[in-house]
Amino acid sequence: MARQSTISESPGGQAPIRVLVLGTGQMGSAMARLVLARPGLELAGACARRPGRAGMDLGRAIGLDRALGLPIVHDLEEALVRSRPRVALQATCSRLAEARDEIEILLRHGVRVITIAEEMACPAATDPVAAAALDRLARDHGAALLGTGINPGFVLDLLVITLTGVCAEVRSIRAERINDLSPYGPTVLENQGVGLSPEAFRAGLAEGRVVGHLGFRQSIGLIAGALGWTIDRIEERREPIVSTVRRETPCVTVEPGQVAGCRHTATAWRRGEPAITLVHPQQVRPELAGVGTGDRIEIDSSPPVRLSGSPEIPGGQGTAALAVNMIPHLLNAAPGLHTMADLPIPAARLGDARRWVLGGDRSAAPTEEAGQ
């Protein structure tokens, strides 16, 4: 029976779900803090790619004012032995090729993996061979793998797909996310060309230093897959957002005439028409140029659907929460590679995380009140 509507208890007799976090940067730290705060989950350890972090206490590293007695580990195999996790959250990279080694090690140990690497939101979009291999590896070891995040993974794909559920016909889709890069650090700002001259921006694009948004192909892959559309080609455009005003953040100052961000768009063509248009201009301090941030979805369909929100759903917080909220879904999923589009709808799985995991002994469990 529909378990969400009937389970009101959590398996208090069961051991907490042990979670290993890969990456101790901004996103890894945010996830680790959420794991600590959620009853039924146990922060079992953390693994950092930077050797210099090894041995640091995890509590201090993720911004707590106390030690956790958990040293950060550099070697993943060692981290697995020490932490014996059931689930790993990967926040170390963006590309499939960079994420793959760690994921394979985790899957071989039967660990279920949730990654926020953008290309892993739909790995088949850029590398179907690698996606099939990861699917096979996960199945062989009774493990499961999911890529998630606010974008790709939610605003420009999952939410779009969900809204098409009320449509009998869909002609085309346009989705836009206008966000503020001000909270981000130097790596993100460099990827978007913030602070460059328009000429340097174009040179950076040509040389691959300016990349814009990573995720359009994954979002398009998820939408097209869910609707059964065959996409003929995808066109991407990256243009500098040249500022007319001075914009300042803790990391960068943009003078008038310099680049405040990247207006990145992607159009997916089907049967000679633009079927999916995704627009994602990212810049620092958009409000100084009179630009409001927000998310907007417009579906040209029967019936038509339009939904928008302003400001945008915060990216960093949303990604960390999604990854942690999806833990029970992934524990309940069949072995293999999953996407957000083939699992049950996401939800804030509040209270004791174990209550959402099927197969546990729920009979002797505490109530909501005891679980929180």
**Residue list 296-315, contact with its own copies (CB under 8 A):** 301-303, 305-310, 313-314
Closest CA to 57 of 65, 42, 49: 65
**26 lines the binding site for its own copies (CB under 8 A):** no
User: 84 CB contacts (<8 Å, ≥6 apart)?
Assistant: 18, 44
- The correct pick among 42, 118, 119, 135 for binding its own copies (CB under 8 A) is 135
- The correct pick among 46, 99, 116, 150 for binding its own copies (CB under 8 A) is 150
The distance of closest approach from Cβ of residue 89 to its own copies in the complex, given in angstroms and rounded to an integer, is 14
The distance of closest approach from Cβ of residue 14 to its own copies in the complex, given in angstroms and rounded to an integer, is 16
Q: Residue 43 in contact with residue 16, Cβ under 8 Å?
A: no
- The correct pick among 15, 97, 132, 245 for binding its own copies (CB under 8 A) is 132
Query: Using CB under 8 A, which residues numbered 328 to 357 contact its own copies?
Result: 336-352, 355-356
Cα diameter, the chain: 66
Is 63 exposed, middle or buried (CB count within 10 Å of its CB: 0-12, 13-18, 19+)?
exposed
User: 9 CB contacts (<8 Å, ≥6 apart)?
Assistant: 355, 362, 365, 366, 367, 368, 371
CB nearer its own copies, residue 212 or residue 221: 221
**167 lines the binding site for its own copies (CB under 8 A):** yes
Cα Rg of the chain, angstroms: 21
Q: Residue 116 in contact with residue 27, Cβ under 8 Å?
A: yes
The C-alpha atoms of residue 36 and residue 149 are separated, in whole angstroms, by 20
One-letter amino acid for residue 336 of the chain: G
- The correct pick among 69, 228, 250, 359 for binding its own copies (CB under 8 A) is 228
**165 lines the binding site for its own copies (CB under 8 A):** yes
Q: Tell me the per-residue interface mask from 42 to 71 with its own copies, x by CB under 8 A, - otherwise.
A: ------------------------------
CB nearer its own copies, residue 198 or residue 346: 346
The distance of closest approach from Cβ of residue 336 to its own copies in the complex, given in angstroms and rounded to an integer, is 6
Q: Which stretch binds its own copies (CB under 8 A): 177-185, 205-213, 284-292, 316-324?
A: 316-324
The distance of closest approach from Cβ of residue 256 to its own copies in the complex, given in angstroms and rounded to an integer, is 32
Residue 136's φ and ψ, nearest 5 degrees, are -65, -45
CB nearer its own copies, residue 52 or residue 230: 230
